[in-house]
Each structure stands twice: as structure tokens, then as C-alpha cells.
Structure 1
Amino acid sequence: MSIFSYHLVRIPFTLAIKGLLSAPIKRNTKGLIHSEYMTAMTLGSPIISTSRFLIKQVAIFAQWENEEALEDYLKKEKLGKLLAKGWHVRLEFMREWGKISGFKIPERKATLESELSPVVAVTIARMKPLAIPRFLHWGRPVEKLVRDHEGTLLSLASVRFPNTVSTFSIWKTEEEMTNMVHGHSAMPKPKRHSDAMKERERKDFHFEFTTLRFKPISEFGSWKNKENYIPNFKKN
């Protein structure tokens, strides 16, 4: 069964610039189904700021034929060895809304052990260039809602020019995540997400858009001097 992985790592500036110009993970990598290489961003940060585009912080979201393929990549490939020094979480697919090209969505769906189990959400969008100002107007308040939400364990955004934007978040429970989506959380201005979705339905921001939900199965390494973002996972 295929698995997904989400990686965060700091890389040298020259390698980061090279990654902006060409895809660092080759499409014909053994066992790789699809990957998205992106530059990390701070959720809710000002559009023009040093925290908006964290050029040396890289986010990679990938799908693999199996866990052995991922292990081989991390052990044998140059970029894989670099990723192994960062942080990543391995994921089993649960649900999809919308569609995005490249990934092969599994027919088999994972289930959580309980309603109190953590869950991971990934969104990916291919933007319409003329819609970017309107997207930022509606999107930044949602970024702040997710960033500040008491139910999140880790959250960030990422981008790949010219038009791919993505978010990643780990939630304490699926209930807290769905409550946020539908505007039922106890946070200030809780309907920021639901209002943005209504605007998207009125006039779409994207060529392609998907929200993917995952069951985390293992966590490796550290990010920003922290390990074990996901409760009850043993350190790997």
C-alpha cells in the first residue's frame, strides 16, 4: 500500500535557490509516485516580510509506492540523506476533497484508532494568477486562525513558484479540526475558514485544489529544536 510523507528541513542557500529552478527529486526516482518541493512560509505573516518566504526552509510532500521505497531514498540519495537529517512524518490516506494532478489517491482508506487520535491535513492549490490578490485577502485570516488555534500541534504554509501554494497542519483530534473548518471553534472570529470557502465557491481562486486528510503513522527527527510533535509516538 502506498504511503505519504511530509518533510521539513533547512538546506544551504545555494541548494535552496537551485531547488527553486528545477525539481530536486527526479520523477523517475525508484518507488516515487509524486512529490511537491516547496519553500516554507509562516502562516499569517505579512505579505512582504522575511518570515513570508523562508528560503532555506524546505517542505517536501511525497507519495511512495511503499515505506521501503521511502527508506531507500533517505538512505541512498543525496537529497534523501539531507532530508533524513530534518523532520518528517509518515502518513496513511483517509479522505480527499477536490482533485490535484500527480498523486494517485488510494482506494483503501485508513481509520483513526479513536476520536481522540491526532490527524494531519494537507492542502495544495494551483493558483489562477489574477486571483492571487483576492486569495491573499481571504486566505491570510484563515492562516492566522489555523496558526493560533489551540487544537494545532504544528502548522505552516509553503509555496512553489509560479502558482503552487500549500498548507500543512497536525491537529490534536479530528473533531477540533472539523470544528475549525465549519466555524464552530472557540477561537475569535471562528468563521474565517468557512467564509473563505464560501468565497471560493462563489468564484474559485484555483485551477486545481485539494484538501487531504491523513492518519499519522510515525514521526522522525526534529524541527526547530523540537521532537515528537505528535502525542504518544515513540521517537524514531
Structure 2
Amino acid sequence: MIHTFHLAELPAGVTARALVRPPSATTVPGLDHAECLALMRLGAPTVSLDRLQLRRIAVFAQWHHEDAVDRFLSDDTLGRHLATGWHVRLEYLRRWSRLAALPGLPARTGSWDQDEPVVAVTVARMRLPEVPRFLRWGKPVERQVRDHPGTTLALAAFRPPHTIATFSVWRTVREMESVVHGRAAGPVSPDRRHADAMAERRRRDFHHEFATFRFRPLAEHGAWEGRAGIVPVG
């Protein structure tokens, strides 16, 4: 099993079709599940073009094996579009909570070093009446992660009507965990924006379902916004 996360700039029509009819196990050999989303900019105003960028797509996927990824990128129509962008191949390490679409993932597999690079992916299905409350608690966390010196890339993405995902690449596990647990330094130290938002979610959930995944980056391909080498060298 292997996971991938893709970013690409595409014609708006291609992104829209992927949002409506994402790749699936029945249409792509070797694929378990894919989430296709339009990019948002972390910390952007709630009502703005940056909150739903149909020319910029994110795809998070689980595959049987790496050969299936290669065939998708070379043979599938959407895959060939994604191949013009950037993607990272990922080794699964841990999850918190679970997604019905990815039922077979163990809670944890393997181990990691506190000083190695790490990738975090969150996928959530929103409760629509909770969106205003989610934005009130979530936007400060977006800015915290976006501006943290330990991230080399941080973004959010959305698929109507209610799926939201976040993706972040961290220089070290230690720096990521300092944010998660409220130990990161901030204007008022420690910076508890992420920890407080998670406590509020536990008090009254924003989502129908929610899962955060931790991965070890294996290899990255291509460039995003003119950048290569986004994944730190461990």
C-alpha cells in the first residue's frame, strides 16, 4: 500500500469534472480511494476567490502499490494532467479517528524519529450548520500552520458540499507535534490555537467524520508554483 498527494494547475473544467466524478477503484486499476478537491489558500477571507480555486486541484489517494500510481499518471486522462504538477509519495504511519472510505488502515504502523520530516493530511466531512463555528475556530489554526517556520508547505482544499482537507509538510515531527499539543511558541507563548480548536471539536464536533493521517515522505516529483525540493531532506 502507498499513498500520494498531488497538486496541479488545470483547466477549470477538468477540475470540476474531477470534483463531480473522482477516480475510483472501479475506474482506475490499483486505486483504493481518491479525494479530489479544489485548493483554498490558508487564512484567506471566507468569501473570496482564494477560497475555491477551480484551476488548482489537490488529490489525495490510496493505492495498492506504486506501479498503479505510475500507470495512472501515464495512462489516465486526469492522471496525465496531474503528472504536469507536483506530487509526493507517502508511507502511512498513523491515524487519528477514521474515514469510512479508508476502512482498513491500522491506528499505527511502524515508528519514526522526532527529527525526521513528516507529512500530515486531514480529511473531514462537515456538518453544514456547524460551518460558521468551524470557521471561527479553524481560521486561526490555518494561520498558525501557514506561518509556522517548521512547515515547508501548508494548504487547504474543498469539495462541495462538505468535504474539507488540509495538507502540510513539516521539517520535523517534533515541530509538528509542538503545534498539535499547544507547545509551539507564539505571540502569547505557548501558542494553543490548534490545541484549543481540537478541544472545541471534542466538545461539539464540527464534522460527520474526521480523520488526520501522518505519513513519512518517500519521494517527490515535479514542481509546485516553481518550487521543487518541498520535502526536507531527513
**TM-score w.r.t. structure 1 length?**
0.93
Query: Is the Cα contact below 8 Å between 2:123 and 2:166 reproduced in 1?
Result: yes
Instruction: Please tell me whether residue 89 in structure 1 is matched to residue 91 in structure 2.
Output: no
Give percent identity, aligned residues only.
44
Specify the alignment match of 2:221 in structure 1: 220
For structure 2, the 5+ residue unaligned runs are none
The corresponding residue for 2:167 is 168
Contact 1:24 1:79 in 2 (8 A): no
**C-alpha deviation, 1:120, in angstroms:** 0.4
* 2: CA distance, partners of 1:159 / 1:224: 19
Offset at 1:27?
A: 3.5
Larger mean CA deviation between 11-20 and 139-148 belongs to 11-20
Matched, 1:199 2:200: yes
Q: Counterpart in 2 of 1:23?
A: 21
1:116-127 to 2 correspondence within 5 Å? 116-127=115-126
Q: CA deviation at 1:111?
A: 3.1
Q: Does 1:135 align with 2:134?
A: yes
- Which of 7-16 and 206-215 deviates more? 7-16
CA contact (8 A) 1:44 1:144 kept: yes
Q: CA deviation at 1:216?
A: 0.5
The question of whether the paired residues in 1 share the 8 Å contact of 2:73 and 2:79 is answered with yes
Look up the SS of the partner of 2:130 in the other structure.
helix
CA distance in 1, matches of 2:223, 2:136: 33
Separation (CA, whole Å) in 1 of partners of 2:104 and 2:115: 25
Q: Unaligned 5+ residue runs, structure 1?
A: none
Residue identity matched to 2:47: I
Partner of 1:109: 109
Aligned position for 1:232: 233
Moved more, 157-166 or 25-34: 25-34
- Secondary structure (helix, strand or coil) at the match of 2:164 reads strand
Corresponding letter in the other structure for 1:85: T
CA distance in 1, matches of 2:2, 2:204: 33
Contact 1:126–1:209 (CA under 8 A) maintained in structure 2: yes
For 2:116 and 2:104, locate their aligned partners in 1 and report how far apart those are by CA, in whole Å: 22
Instruction: Provide the C-alpha distance between the structure 2 equivalents of 1:160 and 1:188, rounded to a whole number of angstroms.
Output: 33
Q: Does the aligned pair in 2 maintain the 1:128–1:207 contact within 8 Å?
A: yes
Cα distance, 1:183 vs structure 2: 1.0
The residue type paired with residue 49 of structure 2 is T
Give me the TM-score of the superposition, normalised by structure 2. 0.94
Is the CA contact (8 Å cut-off) linking 1:33 and 1:104 kept in structure 2? Answer: no
Is the Cα–Cα contact under 8 Å of residues 117 and 233 in structure 2 kept in the other structure?
Answer: no
Which letter does structure 2 place at the counterpart of 1:226?
R
Report how far residue 110 of structure 1 moved.
Answer: 3.7
Aligned residue-pair number: 230
Change (3 A) 1:92 1:104: farther
8 Å contact from structure 1 (residues 135, 205) kept in 2: yes
Q: CA deviation at 1:104?
A: 4.0
